[in-house]
Amino acid sequence: MSFQPVRFYQTGTFTVGNRLLDQDNRSVQATQVRTNSLNSGHRACQGCGEALGARYAIDAAMVASDRQLIAANATGCLEVFSTPYPETSWQIPWIHSLFGNTAAVATGIAAAMRIKGRSDVRIVAQGGDGGTTDIGFGCLSGMFERNDDVLYICYDNEAYMNTGVQRSSATPPAVRTATTMPVGPEPGNVFGQGKNVPLIAMAHGIPYVATATVADLRDLEYKVKRAIGIRGAKYIHIFVPCPLGWGSASNETIQLARMVKECGLFPVYEAENGEVVSVSKIRKQIPVEEYMRPQRRYAHLFGKTPATKVIAKIQAMADRNIKKFGLLEEGVNR
């Protein structure tokens, strides 16, 4: 009979490895306090920012709701890698909606809970940037406008990753995707288009809007917990690097998420009722080039003759954010 030794690598789960470890020997990830709502064993790529962001966001929502949480999930990587039929990595009540109607499905769940008098149950809707900024945008705006009691979380990896890296309206200018190839006089994605959904959410005047990155998971957890405690519509937009779609190394996910904030391209803030109330300041400002260079989706800008004009235009976008949100502590972080 063949013999298979028990391995202890799955210590972040409720599977055999976790249960066999003594309390003292458990890693932080294997602590019994953590709900592991998005459990290990799913099929995300190595270094997937979306998997990391969802794991921390949903665990924080579980803690904040006293484990009374239901999630609706748009079609996209998060749904596909976590639920290859008949398996699932979710350890919460979880429903897969269509690609474009997650906000509406979550609204329906919230209405059902209201009718049942279950004000203790909290509802999360989640999706990628395509499901949020493009096809799901109408349902999302309706959810905001009605101030439905739902927290919507967008995991922004800046393209349609699940179907092969097509451009979305959250794809940054000059980026190479399968549908914005680096050819012609202005290679990559166009400048001056796209949508800034956190600002659009704020324009709806909803109680709470926040942005976050997977480089600061404590900040992310804090924002999710805050949002769960607020009644009405809430929106959190999380920056989640995608090694496969960006052509970045899987061990650079956190570093890229840190650098996008430190260069000013992705401002991290909170807003209440349409007004910015707190901003995460840049600790040490870096040029956008430092953030872009390790990603192959920008490789066409760094050839033999670097596209200095294009890089300068992207730097100008970061500078505008820095000014608009007051991201620099004067005299401290340059």
Find the length of the chain. 334
**Span interacting with ligand TPP, options 63-71, 74-82, 208-216, 281-289, rule CB under 6 A:** 74-82
- Residue with smaller CB distance to ligand TPP, 10 or 169: 169
Closest separation in Å from C-beta 163 to ligand TPP: 4
Q: Using an 8 Å Cβ cutoff, are 326 and 269 in contact?
A: no
- Chosen from ligand SF4, ligand TPP, none, partner binding at 75 (C-beta under 5 to 8 Å by type): ligand TPP
# of chain residues touching ligand SF4 (CB under 6 A): 12
Regarding beta strands 151-156 and 94-96, do their DSSP bridges make them parallel or antiparallel, or are they unpaired? unpaired
Residues in contact with 221: Cβ distance below 8 Å, sequence separation at least 6, in sequence order: 56, 57, 59, 60
* Alpha-carbon 204 to chain mean position: 21
Tell me the window of 185-193, 224-232, 238-246, 309-317 that interacts with ligand SF4 (CB under 6 A).
238-246
CB nearer to ligand SF4: pick between 213 and 315: 213
Q: Give whichever of 18 and 133 is closer to ligand TPP, judged by the CB atom.
A: 133
Task: Compare residues 246 and 269 and give the one whose CB is closer to ligand SF4.
Answer: 246
Q: How far apart are CA 257 and CA 101, in angstroms?
A: 28
Closest approach of ligand TPP to the CB of residue 253, in Å: 14
In sequence order, what DSSP letters do the residues of 291-307 get, joined into one string? HHTT-GGGGGGSSSS--
Contact region with ligand SF4 (CB under 6 A), list: 44-52, 263-271, 295-303, 314-322: 44-52
Considering only residues 106 to 135 of the shown chain, the ones binding ligand TPP according to CB under 6 A are 127-131
Cβ closer to ligand SF4: 58 or 63? 58
Of these partners, ligand TPP, ligand SF4, none, which one is at the site of residue 267 (CB under 5 to 8 Å by kind)?
none
Interaction of residue 301 with ligand SF4, rule CB under 6 A: no
CA nearest 285: which of 251, 312, 258, 255? 258
Q: Are 123 and 110 in contact (CB under 8 A)?
A: yes
Query: Looking at the DSSP assignment, which residues form a beta bridge with residue 126?
Result: 73, 153
Cα–Cα distance for residue pair 68/50, rounded to 1 Å: 23
For the chain, helix (H) and strand (E) counts, in that order, are 12, 8
**77 counts as binding ligand SF4 under rule CB under 6 A:** yes
The option from ligand SF4, ligand TPP, none interacting with 44 (CB < 5 to 8 A, set by class) reads ligand SF4
Tokens 């900024």, located at residue: 133
Q: In whole angstroms, what is the distance from residue 141 CA to residue 103 CA?
A: 9
Longest dimension (CA), the chain: 70
> From CA 100, how far away is CA 75, in angstroms rounded?
8
Residue 81 interacts, among ligand TPP, ligand SF4, none and using kind-specific CB cut-offs from 5 to 8 Å, with: ligand SF4
Neighbour count for residue 257 (Cβ, 10 Å): 25
Residue 170 identity (one-letter amino acid) = A
- Which residue of 35, 40, 65, 75 would you call a contact of ligand TPP, by CB under 6 A? 75
Among 70, 210, 212, 242, binds ligand SF4 (CB under 6 A): 242
Which of residues 63 and 242 has its CB atom nearest to ligand SF4 in the complex? 242
Would you count residue 50 as binding ligand SF4 (CB under 6 A)? yes
Q: Residues in the site for ligand SF4, rule: CB under 6 A?
A: 44-45, 48, 50, 77, 81, 157, 161, 242-245
Q: Residues in the site for ligand TPP, rule: CB under 6 A?
A: 50, 75-78, 99-100, 127-131, 157, 160-163, 168
